[in-house]
Structure 1
């Protein structure tokens, strides 16, 4: 399987034992934004009244607040904010971080009715699971269908593969906060965030570069559904264990 060379530069506050934010490039931001084009992204607008317990909704809000100048030409916010339920997503291709997931995950395949007799209603249904039952005729939906990627726009064929794909522009650095709020990186944003977390001892700040693989990608998506400290949970997992151990010792 092809390895990706995607990394994040984390800024860690060792006093509070948390990741304050990550410095990220195009590949990671495309990965986060594309998560809204996966089936779960369809339900985010329905959660606005009830609220979302984790950080997933912050990705949605980050896209709403992001200036269009940071998006690839021809990419509309509605592609992500109002996604259709399909796997290949919007933009100009599947983000780099999700390519390995696509090639290794069974749910990326689609299946149609095994009847395969040209029945009009049967042909209108697709399933992710080959054991699903056709709502029209009751047969098993185990006939595999082939996914076809959208064509590359002719206007971008001369540019590099990295700039053709995804949602955001290549030469922009982004700040990803612990709860997955995304914004363009700037000195003002950094200072504002340090003040927000009441960071007074700069000597306690530590930079850490982490490489992303399939395991980390899956953990980020999973943690986004229940946690407000996603980056800390994924990249500093020992923190919760140490805190829990200290609590047990003091209350024993």
Structure 2
């Protein structure tokens, strides 16, 4: 993933469809960022959330929608002026200060990140399965959790079944896998990405350069469609990734955290809608593209009652965002981040 990120950083800006495409990938924004602003610990260093409207007040309302942009360099679809007037986004549910969990509340969290309320049959069973025999066999510690611990906990959750132990008891990090030299005897093989049983599904052709003796990919050659897919990995919400992999074994325990959210009821969470934000997350409007092979959807927003931004007697019912990938041409909204046609070389460590 760091190589994909580095490839976006180092790629010529002329390869991207608009200037904003690189910013979308390098400084991705979350569909629920208005809720994450209420987190006690801010574990990213992104700029504060900003929204922009057209400087022409007649363009701020269109087809019963309020029209916004994430970037002040995007041009309005209607008058072609810059969307450079900073404003606020009047979203329903963004003002109460809570994130996902009702407050006040306390939870039991196991070392493999199972989360549950205390004093339930599940929590009693968990304690029993841990071999708890009495207070003489355990000790109680109080630790302070800061940004460094949060980031390490996130990373450990992908590779360890004991991320609390690895993070909060200061255990040594897990050893990295060693690199092996790749045999230079190679041959060329073409592969099609997609399900061969579905003839109507679009396919992406990828040419693999493979070591004959070691049966390892040395590098691949592919067009912008495949690289759009790779780059889009940087925009995928974590909950979507875990949901897609639920039927497969995962080395770490992030799947346990996902299942814990599924099992929590509305007595613990703010609402069923907040649960859906976590277990079935969607992309921010404009961050997807048509026929994305992974099928992730874009979100829509519910407006709070606010008519101050509308230069009209009509009441807005929804929010519309100008697509940063195609703000100069509405017919291009189905396309990805890169211009085409162009060919790329992709290494097995996913640098392009």
Which structure has more helix as a fraction of its residues? Answer: 1
Is this a same-fold pair by TM over 0.5?
no
Bigger radius of gyration among the two: 2
RCO higher in 1 or 2 (8 Å CA, sep ≥ 6)?
1
Instruction: Report the TM-score, using the length of structure 1 for normalisation.
Output: 0.38
